[in-house]
């Protein structure tokens, strides 16, 4: 089984700060981590390899320092990691990102399954997985909470829905995004950490994967972030007075108005 995992390097969870002047993320001095949702994708990929054999390749699109995140995935069981890095990719929205990832997947070619986290911690859109499958013209299943079986180029999974789960089967290759209920990601191993230190991380540029530069980066991104701002928090409190019955009546009136 040829397994491809897409990950993203994001600012550490508890440390997100927004510059109030520029309305952009403050990245200076903030520790970067592998997007926590992607850790479940990687773990599932490694478990599928342990179950069915094969190879786990991790890809990420990002600046040169994203190599650190890729090394971490090797300490967690990935066999190979590829960094998609090019000035032309800078400023990509989910559409342009998916396009670049689809081109990288096309170059890897004989993949059986592509696994993504269900969303990222910073962007929070959850769009890259489905968009990637559209661009590759292969099936897509979101919120996978269990891989039941892979057999004869088919995959059968449990997919989370509001009340419980449904079972879906589709053909491979396919893209799936995983819910955090799917597994408990392992901690780095000693052998893996040693391998991660010396592993060669390939860097693929736009030219390497045949990306048309006007379709990537800012020029390839239909989305524009107009403004990022903290929502205003307004606290208003009002004390209801009178007897208990009167207070309840007033409260009921208020609630009715809202509804």
Partner 1 sequence: MEYFLTEQQKLIKSIARRIAEERILPVRAELDEKEHFPWELIKDIANADLFRIFIPEQYEGMGEGSFALCIAVEELARACAGVALSYAADALGAFPILLYASEKQKQQYLPAIASGARLTGFGLTESGAGSDAGAIKTNAKRDGDGYILNGTKQFITNGGEAEIYTVIALTDPTKGARGASAFIVEKGTPGFTFGKKEKKMGIRCSATRELVFHNCRVPKENLLGKEGLGFIVTMKTLDSSRPGVGALAIGLAQGALEAAVNYARQRVQFGHPVSAIQAVQHMLANMAMELEAARALVYATAKTIDSGAKNFTEEGAMAKVFATDMAMKVTTDAVQVFGGVGYMRDYPVEKMMRDAKINQIYEGTNQVLRNVIALELLRRKGLRE
Report the distance separating Cα 11 and Cα 91, nearest Å: 16
Least Cβ distance, residue 190 to partner 1 (angstroms) = 4
Structure tokens at 212: 């048309």
Under the binding rule (CB under 8 A), the answer on residue 188 touching partner 1 is yes
Q: What is the DSSP letter of 41?
A: H
Nearer to partner 1, 33 or 136 (CB): 33
Among 28, 137, 163, 190, binds partner 1 (CB under 8 A): 190
Under the binding rule (CB under 8 A), the answer on residue 259 touching partner 1 is no
Among 28, 53, 187, 214, binds partner 1 (CB under 8 A): 187
Nearer to partner 1, 194 or 251 (CB): 194
Least Cβ distance, residue 193 to partner 1 (angstroms) = 5
Nearer to partner 1, 165 or 195 (CB): 195
Nearer to partner 1, 129 or 192 (CB): 192
**70 CB neighbour count, 10 Å cutoff:** 24
Contact 92, 216 (CB under 8 A): yes
> Per CB under 8 A, which region of 129-137, 148-156, 188-196, 200-208 contacts partner 1?
188-196
Structure tokens at 106: 């096309």
Nearer to partner 1, 107 or 186 (CB): 186
Q: Give how far the C-alpha of residue 205 lies from the chain's centroid of Cα atoms, to the nearest Å.
A: 21
Among 16, 106, 161, 194, binds partner 1 (CB under 8 A): 194
Report the distance separating Cα 70 and Cα 66, nearest Å: 7
Question: What is the secondary structure of 188-213 as a DSSP string?
Answer: PPHHHHHHHHH---EEE-HHHHT--G
Least Cβ distance, residue 192 to partner 1 (angstroms) = 8
Strand duo 32-34 + 9-11: pairing? antiparallel
> Per CB under 8 A, which region of 96-104, 117-125, 149-157, 190-198 contacts partner 1?
190-198
The residue count of the chain comes to 259
Nearer to partner 1, 125 or 189 (CB): 189
Report the distance separating Cα 151 and Cα 167, nearest Å: 15
Among 189, 219, 223, 247, binds partner 1 (CB under 8 A): 189
Least Cβ distance, residue 32 to partner 1 (angstroms) = 18
Among 2, 127, 170, 193, binds partner 1 (CB under 8 A): 193
Nearest Cα residue to 54 out of 140, 115, 8, 145: 115
Least Cβ distance, residue 247 to partner 1 (angstroms) = 39
Q: Hey, CA dihedral for 213, 210, 125, 83, is it positive or negative?
A: negative
Residues 6+ away with beta carbon under 8 Å from 30? 11, 12, 15, 16, 17
Under the binding rule (CB under 8 A), the answer on residue 191 touching partner 1 is yes
Name the residues that contact partner 1, by CB under 8 A: 186-194
């Amino acid at each position: 089984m040829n397994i491809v995992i897409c990950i993203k390097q994001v600012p550490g969870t508890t440390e997100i700060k927004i510059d109030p002047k520029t309305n952009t993320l403050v990245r200076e001095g903030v520790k970067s981590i592998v997007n926590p949702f992607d850790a479940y994708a990687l773990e599932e990929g490694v478990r599928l390899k342990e179950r069915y054999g094969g190879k786990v390749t991790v890809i990420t699109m990002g600046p040169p320092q994203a190599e650190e995140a890729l090394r971490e995935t090797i300490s967690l069981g990935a066999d190979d990691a590829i960094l998609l890095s090019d000035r032309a990719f800078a400023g990509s929205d989910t559409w342009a990102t998916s396009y670049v990832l689809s081109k990288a997947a096309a170059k890897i070619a004989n993949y059986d399954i592509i696994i993504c986290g269900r969303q990222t911690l910073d962007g929070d859109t959850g769009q890259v997985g489905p968009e990637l499958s559209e661009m590759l013209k292969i099936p897509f299943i979101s919120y996978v909470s269990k891989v039941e079986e892979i057999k004869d180029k088919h995959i059968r999974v449990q997919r989370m829905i509001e009340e419980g789960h449904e079972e879906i089967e589709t053909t491979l290759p396919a893209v799936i995004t995983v819910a955090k209920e799917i597994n408990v990601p392992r901690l780095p191993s000693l052998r893996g950490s040693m391998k991660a230190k010396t592993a060669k991380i390939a860097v693929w540029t736009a030219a390497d994967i045949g990306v048309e530069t006007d379709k990537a980066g800012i020029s390839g991104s239909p989305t524009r972030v107009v403004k990022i701002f903290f929502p205003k928090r307004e606290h208003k409190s009002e004390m209801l007075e009178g007897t208990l019955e009167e207070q309840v009546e007033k409260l009921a009136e208020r609630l009715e108005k809202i509804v």
